Amino acid sequence: MTSPSKGPARGLDGVVAAQTRLSHVDGQAGELIIGGYQLRELAGRVSFEEAAHLLWCGALPSQSELAALRREMSGIRALPEETMRVVRAATKTPPIDALRMACATLSLDLPNPDDISPAADTQAAKLLTARFPTVVAAHARLSAGKEPIAPRADLSLAANFLYMVHGTEPDPSAARAIDTYWVTVIDHGMNASTFTARVIASTRSDMVSAVTGAIGALKGPLHGGAPGPVLDMLQDIKSADRTEPWVRNELAAGRRIMGFGHRVYKVRDPRADVLSKAADALASAGKDTLANRKLFDLARSAEQTILTVLEEVKPGRNLRTNVEFYTALLLQAVGLEPRSFVATFACGRVAGWCAHVIEQHAEDHLIRPQSEYVGPRNLKVGE
């Protein structure tokens, strides 16, 4: 760590806080490795359940292991009565807040919530990952004045999520898109929410507490982001020929262009590439194909113009397309409301959070960085 005489590393920039086998982010090369695989090797090629097993157990599952995992997780998707009461009470709150409150109750039917053994952690990971989509779907329906729909055991986690949101048989292309999205965002190095989960776990606190804290960190706009405003931007632009004047006006006013720039990536976010392909496929299939195709084509054209203008107006800033840009298009195309986007992201990231908690519990070392005092000294009471 940087010595106090030189000042601390602001925001722990450049400080290695842990060793992990789970994921690696190379911002200069635009590379994301998850469990030993390049992201492009996993997203769209393995299911979310397979990717979760990879992080929790260190390897992709065999067919029999995958079948067993799906059976087990499908059997624990339903929410306890106490959790559903919390979700019902939170219908006027943002979905990410409802998820945080609901998550804290999900330890109620664990045999021993304070057990942090590998077996107990893995069981808790399955429970949380299975139930997060149920919470988000129930909150979406209740907020729209509808009753929640019970989960179906015969559907994949992604397909069941869309079924519980819309109440209709899920479109296969939409289910594939959500599955690909969740694999894409399952883990991403030592980000703020993951670090939060690991700090909590390092105290020997339990899995549910650590993940609840992670949700609180994800809620912050500097981390969880705001994919929804990307749609607002495209609606304002309206047509490809309006993109350049719109972007120049926004930059002149000192406003940020949503969906561009990243704290780590200095080149194009590799997740944007994966989600661009997924959104493209979705725009050519399923329901509302024409509307989705027009929006996607506008986004693809606008993206290139925006990148050109950003390079001209802000040279050297490396403001490239990030994961939010195509996330917005994909989630909108499967019928989700923008207010649910961050909570839907959490449904994918929870598997990664749980994997980091498992890893931190195994390390069993308290995370306790130092601070540099910059306040006054030798004050006297009464003076």
247: amino acid identity, one letter: V
What positions carry a catalytic annotation? 262, 324
Indicate whether 279 and 349 sit together in one domain: no
Total-model pTM: 0.93
256, 176: one domain: no
**Could you tell me if 171 and 266 lie in one domain?**
no
Q: What pLDDT is stored for residue 7 in this prediction?
A: 60
Higher pLDDT, 17 or 29: 29
Kindly state whether residues 96 and 211 are assigned to the same domain.
yes
Rounded to an integer, the average pLDDT of 236-254 is 95
Is there a single domain that holds both residue 196 and residue 169?
yes
Q: Is residue 370 part of a domain?
A: no
Q: In what order do the strands lie in the sheet with 31-34?
A: 23-26, 31-34, 37-38
Q: Give the pLDDT of residue 382.
A: 84
Cα 313–chain centre separation? 30
Q: Give me the percent of the chain exceeding a pLDDT of 90.
A: 80
- Is residue 62 situated within a structural domain? yes
- What does the pLDDT average to over 355-361? 98
Amino acid at 9: A
CA distances from 151 to 129, 154, 176, 348, 382 (A): 14, 9, 18, 17, 65
Model confidence at 11, in pLDDT bands (50, 70, 90)? Answer: confident
The pLDDT of residue 383: 65
Residue 319 has pLDDT above 80, yes or no: yes
Residue 258, domain CATH? 1.10.230.10
Is 57 contained in some domain?
yes
Q: Are residues 297 and 239 in the same domain?
A: yes
The pLDDT value recorded for residue 5 is: 46
- 8 within domain boundaries: no
Encode pLDDT of 177-195 as tens digits.
999 999 999 999 999 999 9
Is the residue at 13 inside a domain? no
Residue 228: its pLDDT value, please? 82
Can you give the pLDDT at residue 315? 94
Same domain? For 294 and 357 the reply is no
Average pLDDT of 127-134? Answer: 98
What per-residue confidence (pLDDT) applies to 290? 58
Read off φ and ψ for residue 320, nearest 5 degrees.
Answer: -100, 170
Classify 33 as helix, strand or coil. strand
The answer to which of 228-237, 289-298, 360-369 has the lowest mean pLDDT is 289-298
Residue range of the domain that includes 67: 23-224+343-363
33 with 142, same domain: the answer is yes
Task: Give the tokens for residue 123.
Answer: 């069981």
pLDDT at 266: 82
Number of domains in the chain: 2
- Are residues 350 and 271 both part of a single domain? no
What pLDDT shows up at residue 224?
A: 79
Provide the pLDDT for residue 195.
Answer: 97
Return the pLDDT at 152: 96
144 and 117 fall within a common domain? yes
The pLDDT score that the predictor gives to residue 3 is 43
Q: pLDDT: is 11 or 204 the higher one?
A: 204
According to DSSP, residue 241 is labeled G
Which domain CATH number covers 116? 1.10.580.10
What integer is the mean pLDDT of 151-176? 96
**pLDDT tens per residue, range 326-352:** 999 999 999 999 999 999 999 999 999
Q: Please check whether residue 12 lies inside any domain of the structure.
A: no
Same domain, 163 and 282: no
* Range in 25-29, 73-77, 137-141 with the lowest mean pLDDT: 25-29
Would the pLDDT of 172 be above 90?
A: yes
Examine the pLDDT at 162 and tell me if it is beyond 70. yes
Domain membership flag for residue 382: no
CA terminus-to-terminus distance, the chain: 38
Instruction: Indicate whether 16 belongs to any domain.
Output: no
Name the DSSP letter for residue 269: -
Own/partner long-range contacts of 45-48 (Cβ < 8 Å, ≥24 apart): 46/183, 47/156, 47/158, 47/179, 47/183, 48/156, 48/157, 48/158, 48/179, 48/182, 48/183, 48/186, 48/348, 48/351
Q: Are 241 and 136 in the same domain?
A: no
Q: Which two tokens stand for residue 273?
A: 């590439």
